[in-house]
A and B are shown apart, each in its own frame.
Chain A
Amino acid sequence: MSEHDITRAEHIEYVLRLADNVLILGQRISEWCGHAPVIEEDLALSNMALDLIGQSRLLLTHAGELEGKGRDEDQLAFLRVERDFRNVTLMEVPNEDFGRTTVRNFLFSAFQVLLWDKLSASTDRALAAIAAKSLKEARYHLNHSAEWVIRLGDGTALSQQKTQAALDYLWPYSAELFADSPVDAAAAAAGIGPAWSALEAEWEALVLPVLAEATLVVPARTPFKSFGKFGRHSEHMGHLLATMQYMQRTYPGAQW
């Protein structure tokens, strides 16, 4: 285990993946601000969005420092083009309804809890510090979304049907989290962080009991593949970036 097992580019790529996942999901969840079913949940979702965007700021800053070309968090968030984003496709698909947002938050938070826990022992000390802070936030996100999944799934006939539809839609995208890549292998060899594929069994152990309690049927794995973390995004990504980036692109360097 040493720095030599990973190239600078791979290290940056690994950190950007982490950063872009939380940035893009944070942007998606923030769409609920003022639109959630009840004001209590409006605040809960806004809190979660702010947690995620806070995490992305730290990670993007770190990625910019690793890159050493003077790019800061804002330049990385607002001035990169779609192909340069490394988030999994699961993060960018539309919210659709409260059920889908909740199921996505649940599936992803479970993954993040495992990932942050492992990353808090990273040989990249800045990353380890970010992970230790973020783990607490992710634990609450997992708790809150799991409680909701159970109540929506094991709720009324309508909420059950909508939550099942959400799971059916999102489940194929969750496979991308565990797709192997050379970046994962290098990060694992250098002790930067785990190969994401190594988290799959633990993730299922966390997720499946909750889905069962929610009386939801877990879809079978299909050959479907998404490639967001390799920069090949869905048609939804461009629209999301247009909303997120237009201010900096229209008024470069604008601050408030």
Chain B
Amino acid sequence: MQKKEWPLWEVFIRSRNGLDHKHCGSVHAPDATMALQVARDVYTRRLEGVSIWVVKASDIVASDPDAKPELFDPAEDKIYRHPTFYQLPDEVNHM
């Protein structure tokens, strides 16, 4: 007998209007409509959100964990890219 697993969907919840959708977990569901419904049932039981996105996990293109050295390490010694490197006039707040 052929056994079929439901695809995995990544769930993103927007907690309030004006905020970003944030990744909060994943669900298994046969299709997009059901994925949205079960995401609602699993992740918004305690008023966590006002909007849900689901994305098929297989549709997410991710960077290779083994490529960390060449992708991210070179930024380590470029601290001048941080805005904090610059002297700001006192009138500029909240940088």
Q: Which residues of A pack against B, CB within 8 Å? A: 38-41, 43-44, 47, 140, 143-144, 147-148, 151
Residue from B6, B28, B29, B41 in contact with A43 in the complex, judged by beta carbons closer than 8 Å: B41
B45 near A43: Cβ-Cβ < 8 Å: yes
Cβ of B37 within 8 Å of any chain A Cβ, yes or no, is yes
CA distance A186 to B92 in the complex (A): 72
Distance to closest chain A CB from B53 (angstroms): 17
Residue tally, chain B, CB below 8 Å to A:
13
Residues of chain A within 8 A (CB-CB) of B45 are 43, 47
B41 near A147: Cβ-Cβ < 8 Å: no
Question: 24 A-B pairs, CB-CB below 8 angstroms?
Answer: A38-B28, A39-B42, A40-B28, A40-B29, A40-B38, A40-B41, A40-B42, A41-B38, A43-B38, A43-B41, A43-B45, A44-B37, A44-B41, A47-B41, A47-B45, A140-B40, A143-B37, A144-B37, A144-B41, A147-B33, A147-B37, A148-B34, A151-B30, A151-B34
Residues of chain A within 8 A (CB-CB) of B40 are 140
Cβ of B13 within 8 Å of any chain A Cβ, yes or no, is no
Residues of chain B within 8 A (CB-CB) of A39 are 42
List residues of B (1-44) whose CB comes within 8 Å of A's CBs.
6, 27-30, 33-34, 37-38, 40-42
Given contacts A40-B29, A44-B37, 17 further A-B contacts (CB under 8 A): A38-B28, A39-B42, A40-B27, A40-B28, A40-B38, A40-B41, A40-B42, A41-B38, A43-B41, A47-B45, A140-B40, A147-B33, A147-B34, A147-B37, A148-B34, A151-B30, A151-B34
B36-61 vs A: 1/0 string, CB under 8 Å? 01101110010000000000000000
- Quick one: which of B34, B38, B41, B45 has the most chain A CB within 10 A? B41
In the complex, the chain B residue whose C-beta lies closest to that of A155 is: B30
Residues of chain B within 8 A (CB-CB) of A151 are 30, 34
